[in-house]
Amino acid sequence: MSAVVVIPAAGEGLRLGFSMPKAFVPLAGSPLLVHVIRLFERIKHIQGIVIVSPPGYEDFCRNEIAEKNGFSKIVDIVPGGNKRSESVNNGLNVVSDKTDLVLIHDAARPFVTVTLIEKLMSSAVKWGAAIPAVPVIPTIKSENNRGFVIETVDRRNLREIQTPQVFKTELIKKAYAAGDIESEAGTDDAYFLEKAGIPVRIVEGERENFKITTKIDLRIAEMMIRKKKQS
Ligand code: C5P
């Protein structure tokens, strides 16, 4: 089986309080993106890694990320777009149709495990599309534009969606080609399959696989790494 991972890494770091792109923000001394690539380099069934770089940082990715760390699976570095979906689309464009599976993983999720990735790949082979999810824990309400509650949402069927999202190549390419990649609603990749009427299988995700978005997330991530080193 052949598999390629596309890593959208073109987002900004503003919510983290950094002026540099989020994927280059240091975590325990290495850019977030390096943590993520290191993991996929270790997975036997993944032959290629496509980095979607912040526009203008392609050489930085080549020299400071790929070469400096001796990564051997990076097959392409392409510039991203204004939205995550545009970035992913640029990455998908360089994936060969002959590849069996495409994994799409946020550069901002450094704690995904090999076990979860392999579970998702097996599920995608069986079902065509597989995404990780965890139950929503907090109470969720909708708010009107005057600052009052509209209603409480029944959370029993709600799921918080993670990455990597794994797809048969023909399905994800077909879904992106048919979709409106500038849509505000397209915040993950499975969205485009849903719009195209293609079933998406949910696999139980991992709480540790959270997305680093805010300063507190980064502090928690630093603590998690320190703890892992101690144990
Ligand atoms: O913005 P958000 O937190 O949803 O970003 C998730 C992932 O998508 C991050 O890895 C980020 O670098 C990437 N992204 C991108 N291009 C954008 C926006 C986000 O590659 N225009």
* Number of other CB atoms surrounding residue 198 within 10 Å: 18
Count of the separate structural domains present in the chain: 1
Q: How far is the CA of 71 from the centre of ligand 1 (A)?
A: 22
- Average pLDDT score, the chain: 96
Q: Are strands 74-79 and 48-53 parallel, antiparallel or unpaired?
A: parallel
Residue pair 104/133 in contact (Cβ under 8 Å)? The answer is no
CATH number at 36 reads: 3.90.550.10
- Closest C-alpha to ligand 1, atom 9: 106
DSSP 56: T
Q: Is there a domain that residue 146 lies in?
A: no
What are the tens digits of pLDDT across the range 45-93?
999 999 999 999 999 999 999 999 999 999 999 999 999 999 999 999 9
Give the pLDDT confidence score for residue 230 in this predicted structure. Answer: 86
Q: Measured between alpha carbons, how far is 3 from 103 in angstroms, rounded to an integer?
A: 7
What separation in angstroms does the CA of 67 have from each of 21, 27, 58, 81, 95? 19, 19, 12, 24, 21
At 212, the pLDDT band (50, 70, 90 cuts) reads very high
Q: Is there a domain that residue 136 lies in?
A: no
Q: Is there a domain that residue 93 lies in?
A: yes
Q: Measured between alpha carbons, how far is 121 from 166 in angstroms, rounded to an integer?
A: 6
What residues form DSSP beta bridges with 3?
A: 101
User: Is the CB of 122 within 6 Å of ligand 1?
Assistant: no
Residue pair 52/80 in contact (Cβ under 8 Å)? The answer is yes
What are the tens digits of pLDDT across the range 8-49?
999 988 888 888 999 999 999 999 999 999 999 999 999 999
Residue 204, domain extent: 3-130+162-230
Q: Is there a domain that residue 38 lies in?
A: yes
Q: How far is the CA of 149 from the centre of ligand 1 (A)?
A: 30
Q: Is there a domain that residue 32 lies in?
A: yes
Q: Is there a domain that residue 221 lies in?
A: yes
Q: Measured between alpha carbons, how far is 218 from 130 in angstroms, rounded to an integer?
A: 27
Which of 52, 78, 84 for mutating ligand 1's site (highest number of atoms within 8 Å of CB)? 84
Model confidence, pTM: 0.97
Q: Is there a domain that residue 150 lies in?
A: no
Q: Is there a domain that residue 33 lies in?
A: yes
Handedness of CA 112, 84, 49, 169 (dihedral sign): positive
